[in-house]
Amino acid sequence: MSASQTYRISYFGVLAERRGLREEWIACTGATPAAVYAELTAIHDLGMSAGQLRVAVNDEFSSWQHALQPGDTLAFLPPMSGG
């Protein structure tokens, strides 16, 4: 089993409401956004699959398979609704 890494997580919109907070630090073993989100949804009822979301790492849109570094900021983004 790989060692866990620490990430800062940001939630927006309906995800923030379901998680009950906007930001948190977590330690988890996942090393990609996809793996981290899977771990989060195993703990919390976020009600949305990764396929419905986009993800940003360190304030840039990212792929779900991006190789994360300890301390990275991940933001999970529900479908946007500007305008």
Partner 1 sequence: MPAKIHFAMSPAAIEVALLAAALEDPAAGAVVTFEGRVRNHNAGQLVTGLEYQAYPALANKTGRTILEQEARQHGLAGACAVHRCGELGIGDLAVWVGVASAHRDAAFAGSRAILERLKHELPIWKKESYVDGTCAWVGPDNVQTEMAGAVERLPEMVAALHGIYLSDGHDFRGRHGLDRLDHGIVEVRQVECVAGMGLRGDRYFGHQPDFKGQVTFFDKATVDAVRKHLDVAALPAGAFRRNLLVSGVNLGEWIGKRFRFQGIEFEGCEECRPCYWMDTAIGAGIESFLKINCGGGLRARILTDGLLRVDAPTEEA
Residues that bind partner 1 (CB under 8 A): 10, 12-14, 16-17, 52, 56, 59-61, 75, 77-83
Query: At closest approach, how far in Å is the CB of 6 from partner 1?
Result: 20
Kindly tell me which of 25 and 61 has the beta carbon lying closer to partner 1. Answer: 61
Query: At closest approach, how far in Å is the CB of 3 from partner 1?
Result: 29
- Which residues touch 22 (CB under 8 Å, ≥6 apart)? 10, 11, 12, 16
Asked whether the CA dihedral 80, 73, 42, 64 is positive or negative, the reply is positive
Query: At closest approach, how far in Å is the CB of 56 from partner 1?
Result: 5
Kindly tell me which of 29 and 69 has the beta carbon lying closer to partner 1. Answer: 69
Rounded CA gap, 4 and 28, in Å?
5
Residue 51 DSSP symbol: G
Kindly tell me which of 1 and 82 has the beta carbon lying closer to partner 1. Answer: 82
Rounded CA gap, 15 and 48, in Å?
8
